[in-house]
Chain A
Amino acid sequence: MKPHPAPNPRTSSLLKIGAALSFIIFITTAVTTVSSGERARTGGRETPLRTGSPRPARTAQDRAESVEAFGKVYKVLMSPRCLNCHPAGNVPLQGDDSHLHTMLPQRGVDGKGVFAMKCGNCHQATNTPGRHTPPGNPEWHLPPANMKMVFQGRTPNQLAKQLVDPKQNGRKSMKELLEHADDTLVLAGWHPGEGRTLPPMSHAEFKKAWTTWLEKGAVAPAP
């Protein structure tokens, strides 16, 4: 077997320099690519979003449309039909003035009340006829104690960020957030029972704004 020739020391040095240069060029290119990719995806200013979160806005127009859509979303979410079951405390709110629910029912661990004061004890599967009677829905409840999803007192900026944060939104993915527009309790806001005002726009308008806000980047309005 013919032995390998001993490498020429000069050739060997050139090869080492070439390999090092190639490595440096590769690393530089790779870092530049990741960096520009990250900028493209984040618009250069936004915090990278977690898996399952909405895609950041791609253009200034997207951002503007997203913020404008959230303005409509916010009006609905802060209306009594939504706000009343997203209180800052542990007692739901009631009425168009969002006063504390009479009898002071408590949230409980699962959001369905405590002991003899569970939501479903009075709130039936459908609205009870008459004014000042309990509105109904089979799923009637507050958010649970370990994720209160508070709307009351939130600014547009705070609420927008909260809604897309899986640690604060019920661990909802982008797909689940989009679907949430048709959630049975969300829809109940547009069938509130006698004597209660409706949210400030139709459900179709709300859903369109909700979808636009999310799909255009779920941009939070300026604080």
Chain B
Amino acid sequence: MLNLTINKKAYHVDVDPDTPLLWVLRDTLGLVGTKYGCGVAQCGACTVHLNGEAVRSCVTKVSRAVGQKVVTIEGLAEKADHPVQKAWLELDVAQCGYCQSGQIMSAAVLLRENKNPTDADIDAAMAGNICRCGTYLRVREAIRLAATSQRKAGNG
């Protein structure tokens, strides 16, 4: 049995410690907001937060998460109202939407560490999240909007 804390909730899972965290999230716990894209940390669709860092859960063994804090897209904000999520909706960023949970989780790390990112900062932070629909310009615009909202709300 492995003890995990995901979205502030404790879980006890009976899985091989080498199982990718992504499979535990999706198949064992039913948290399917996190997506499988490439399986080799090349696309970013599976990004979740492990102790606040945007790890690729497809290559992260679940054993790495034992006793640590995991946050998925389901737990990023209790009411799904993180500034990035709100900006995503406001600007209709998603086209097919498959990559968006990974994009949003990466953007949230950026805005936590840099309250007023330049376009170069955004590009550096988001370079590991691929969007096959090519919504990169809207992704960038949404991050700018979220940064502005965050600062206006006094969180920046």
Residues of A within 8 A of B (CB): 102-106, 114-118, 120-122, 124-125, 128, 130, 132-134
Contacts and interface: CB of A to CB of B under 8 A. Distances in A.
B36 to A, nearest CB: 15
B110 A124 contact: no
A136 to B, nearest CB: 9
Contacts of A117: 54, 124-125, 127-128
A115 B125 contact: yes
Given A130-B40, A133-B41, A122 B127 contact: no
| Most-contacted residue by chain B among A114, A116, A124, A130 (CB, 10 A) | A116
Interface residues of B, number: 26
A128 B54 contact: no
B35 interface: no
A104 B40 contact: no
B61 interface: yes
A121 B110 contact: no
A104 B127 contact: yes
Contacts of B54: 115-118, 121
B141 to A, nearest CB: 18
A134 B58 CA distance: 11
B26 interface: no
Contacts of A102: 42
B85 interface: no
A106 B55 CA distance: 16
The CB with the most chain A CB atoms within 10 A, among B41, B47, B106, is that of B41
Contact of B127 (A103, A130, A133, A134): A103
Contacts of A104: 124, 127
Contacts of A103: 42, 127-128
B41 A122 contact: yes
B59 A120 contact: no
User: Chain A interface secondary structure, helix, strand, loop or mixed?
Assistant: loop
Contact of A114 (B55, B59, B125): B125
11 contacts: A114-B124, A115-B106, A115-B110, A116-B47, A116-B106, A121-B41, A122-B55, A122-B59, A124-B64, A132-B40, A134-B40
Contacts of A121: 41, 47, 53-56, 128
A116 B128 contact: yes
Nearest to B110: A115
Contacts of B109: 115-116
Contact of A115 (B56, B64, B114): B114
Given A124-B60, A124-B64, A118 B40 contact: no
B19 to A, nearest CB: 12
Nearest to A132: B40
Contacts of A105: 127-128
Interface in B84-128: 105-107, 109-110, 113-114, 121, 124-128
Contacts of B114: 115
B73 to A, nearest CB: 14
